[in-house]
Structure 1
Amino acid sequence: MKASYHRPTRIEVDLSAISYNLEQVVSHLPKETEVFAVVKANAYGHGVVAVAQALQAQVAGFCVSNIDEALELRQAGIGKEILVLGVVPVAAIPLALEANIILTAASQEWIDRLEISALKGLRLHIKVDTGMGRIGFRTSQATNLAIANLLANEARVEGIFTHFASADQADKSQFLEQLSCFKRIISELDYLPSLVHASNSATSIWHADTVFNMVRLGDILYGLNPSGRDLELPYNVKAALSLTSELVHVKELEAGSRVGYGATYTCSQSEYIGTIPIGYADGFLRKMQDFHVLVDGELCPVVGRVSMDQITVRLPKSYPIASKVTLIGQDGQGAISAQEWADHLGTINYEVVCLLSDRIPRFYFK
């Protein structure tokens, strides 16, 4: 999707805030910990190339979800280590070898499908499923067999990792079960790779005493609380992303006038209605009806259905066209966070920022 630079709707990303957030987390970890920044899904909607360029001096490497995200970083000149966390199609192995990208081995079947020639020099981390139920080996026996097969064919097995399902929750029972399982499996290995990692953002924040020698930091880098509102952050972080637009049309509607598709809103009295160029095609979902935006520091409710490209809000008074509208961020004494969007939608802040589409241009500052 092409970014709409000639529309007033825009995202601003404070790269210094992301660097600050990284430093905050790292300062509470053991000094020898290797740090990989998770920049998958366009750096959680913040812009992968700009974020990676800003962080590359502070981290050992980056984590992405697929081979194309890894290649995008390489093509942008990022030379740091890149680990693909997902399963890469066998046909893409030559691309990983050529671009020096680390892949994840998650099943014996995947290994068996590889040509012996493709394994030589291939850099891999082993994924262990300790209770997430997605990808990964589930026993030490299967893990040992996989590592032995890979080493015998001259693959470079450099890491082993798992992923916690509930490190961001107050109830620690499943987290402790998974941690115990992972520790047991790695203790039973005949060959232990040099990098061992299980800590995502939540684990690094609330279970820092359980980190191994590498962490994967994602949501927290962008100033977002991985637990939503379940757990309080133990230290300060700064939200890196703001989303703004402008009023492109303002009109006074008389009592009884209807607004939007389906006529779901009726003016109860004479009201000023403002139109803003953002909609569900941009990630401002239809369920955001009855939420609010900020105009001149005042909360203005979203009235009528959210359209593909536009929303309408009830204004306290008439404002001139081109008046600033804040959808995420600070305006005067008022503020709206990605977490508030998530609360309204019944989802998580991860989803909110990842859904902000590429149609909204990103602008960066420090």
Structure 2
Amino acid sequence: MISSLHRPTVAKIDLEAITANIEAVKAHIPADKKTYAVVKANAYGHGAVEVAKRVVDLVAGFCVSNVDEALELRQHGITKEILILGVVMPEELDLVIANDLTIAVASLDWVHAALKETIAFKKLHVHIKVDSGMGRIGFRNLDETNQAMRLLRDAGVEIDGIFTHFATADEADDGKFNQQLAFFKDFLAGLEQVPALVHASNSATSLWHSQTIFNAVRLGIVCYGLNPSGTELALPYPLKPALQLESALVHVKKLEAGQDVGYGATYTSQEEQIIGTLPIGYADGWTRDMQGFSVLVEGQLCPIVGRVSMDQITIRLPKAYPLGTPVVLIGNSGAASISATDVASYRGTINYEVLCLLSDRIPRQYGE
């Protein structure tokens, strides 16, 4: 999707805020822990390449979801370690090795399939993924894990690390978290050989369970200044949101009472009203369920009226503003603000999803 550069809708990314957020987390964990910045999904909508370039000296490496995300970083000069967290199909291993990527190994079946490939296994680096209770990918059986690791080592593969992922580290109830932690510790104790790097700490774990860190952390949403728990847990120290979503008024008109607005005629003016139009819609990730939410114009909340269209939304204004007047959808306007978490709460989802849904049609502008 091509970025729409010739309209006033833009996501402004504060790279200094991202740097400061990583430094804040690192200041609250032991100095000898290895830090990965998670830049999958285009750095949670912030721009993977620009973010990685900015923080490259602060971290030991990066985490992504798949081979293509890793290749994008390599193609833009990122030479540090890149760990692919998702499953890479065995037929892609030549590409992995050629680009010096590290991959997750999640099952004995995968190992058997991979060993059928004709590749330079001595150049392959992997981390073993353990399913401690997330139920997605990863080893659950200790015997299968030891067998897989023997097979990999016999083939010359470098097993650099082992890791798991917590399902509820961002919740007040830590029962499930403690179960997973105990499972992972027992799993490590049963291995014939434990890899040098052991990591289980995502953003939430790093914030609220820092005492459980092994020897590395994977920092995701905290890099971008948001609370992994939404509003359930208070942040232990301040973080600064790095993304501000802005647009501008491209049309302003007066509607008489009794006039309908938008698809389905779901909004009818009850009295004379001023209606403004913004060039952003569900094709940009501003989803249809945002009708009834508000945006900020000169620090004032202005409700979204009528259904969100593919390319436009309409808002009710307190007065007629000039065309081009800035409008804030996420971020600060005067003394008021709207956070990605506020948007998520209205949608009944999480702030991660709000950011990741912001499409490539919205240009990203980078500054301090």
How far apart, CA to CA, are the structure 2 residues paired with 1:323 and 1:202?
38
Mapped to 2, the partners of 1:308 and 1:215 lie a distance apart of 39
Q: What is the rounded CA distance, in whole Å, between the counterparts of 1:305 and 1:34 in structure 2? A: 47
Verify the 8 A CA contact 1:116 1:153 in the aligned structure 2: no
Mapped partners of 2:210, 2:264: distance in 1: 51
Indicate conservation of the 8 Å contact 1:271/1:315, yes or no. Answer: yes
Q: Which residue of 1 aligns with 2:39?
A: 39
User: 2:304·2:314 contact (CA, 8 Å) conserved in 1?
Assistant: yes
User: Structure 1 stretches (4+) deviating beyond 6 angstroms?
Assistant: none
Inter-partner Cα distance in structure 2 for 1:340 and 1:205: 21
Aligned-pair CA distance for 1:121:
2.0
List gaps (5 residues or longer) in structure 2: none
Aligned to 2:280: 278
Q: In the alignment, what sits opposite 1:84?
A: 84
Structure 1 residue corresponding to 2:291, chosen from 289, 293, 299: 289
CA contact (8 A) 1:129 1:136 kept: yes
Q: CA deviation at 1:116?
A: 5.7
Who is 2:307 aligned against?
305
Deviations 1:191-213 (Å, cap 9, x if unpaired)?
A: 11110000000000000000000
- Tell me what 1:350 maps to: 352
1:102 deviation in Å? 0.1
Whether contact under 8 Å (1:140, 1:186) holds in the other structure is no
Q: How does 1:109-258 map to 2 (within 5 A)?
A: 109-114=109-114, 115=116, 117-118=118-119, 119-258=121-260
Q: What secondary structure sits across from 1:163 in the alignment?
A: coil
Q: Is residue 364 from structure 1 mapped to residue 363 from structure 2 by the alignment? A: no
Contact 2:302 2:316 in 1 (8 A): yes
Per-residue CA deviation, residues 1-56 of structure 1 (Å, 9 max, x unaligned), is 00001110000000000000001111111111000000000000000000000010
**Secondary structure, counterpart of 1:86 in structure 2:** strand
1:260 corresponding residue in structure 2: 262
Q: Residues 23-102 of structure 1: matches in 2 within 5 Å? A: 23-102=23-102
- Give the CA deviation at 1:117: 3.9
- What SS class does the counterpart of residue 111 from structure 1 fall into? helix
CA-to-partner distance for each residue in 1:151-198, whole Å, 9 max, x for gaps? 010000000000000000000000000000000011111111110000
Which one-letter code corresponds to 2:14 in the other structure? D
1:120 is displaced (CA, Å) by 2.8
Across the aligned residues of Structure 1 and Structure 2, the Cα RMSD in angstroms comes to 0.7
Q: Which position in structure 1 is the counterpart of 2:22?
A: 22
Q: 1:176 to 1:253 in 2, by over 3 A?
A: same
Bigger mean CA deviation after superposition, 183-192 or 349-358 = 183-192
C-alpha distance in 1 between matches for 2:235 and 2:22: 14
Kept in 1, the 8 Å contact 2:60–2:81? The answer is yes
For the 8 Å contact 2:40–2:48, the answer to whether it is kept is yes
Deviation at 1:215, TM superposition (A): 0.5
Contact 2:5 2:363 in 1 (8 A): yes
Question: What CA distance in whole angstroms lies between the structure 1 residues aligned with 2:196 and 2:29?
Answer: 18
CA contact (8 A) 2:35 2:218 kept: yes
Report the Cα distance in structure 2 between the residues aligned to 1:283 and 1:121, rounded to whole angstroms.
40
Change (3 A) 1:142 1:162: same
CA distance, structure 2, for counterparts of residue 102 and residue 117 of structure 1: 18
- What secondary structure sits across from 1:328 in the alignment? strand
8 Å Cα contact 1:293-1:325 kept in structure 2: yes
Partners in 1 of 2:241 and 2:134 — Cα distance? 29
**Tell me, which stretches of 5 or more residues in structure 1 are unaligned?**
none
Q: Partner of 1:329: helix, strand, or coil? A: strand
SS, match of residue 300 in structure 1 = strand
- State percent identity of aligned pairs: 58
Distance 2:165 2:145 in 1: 16
TM superposition score normalised by structure 1: 0.99
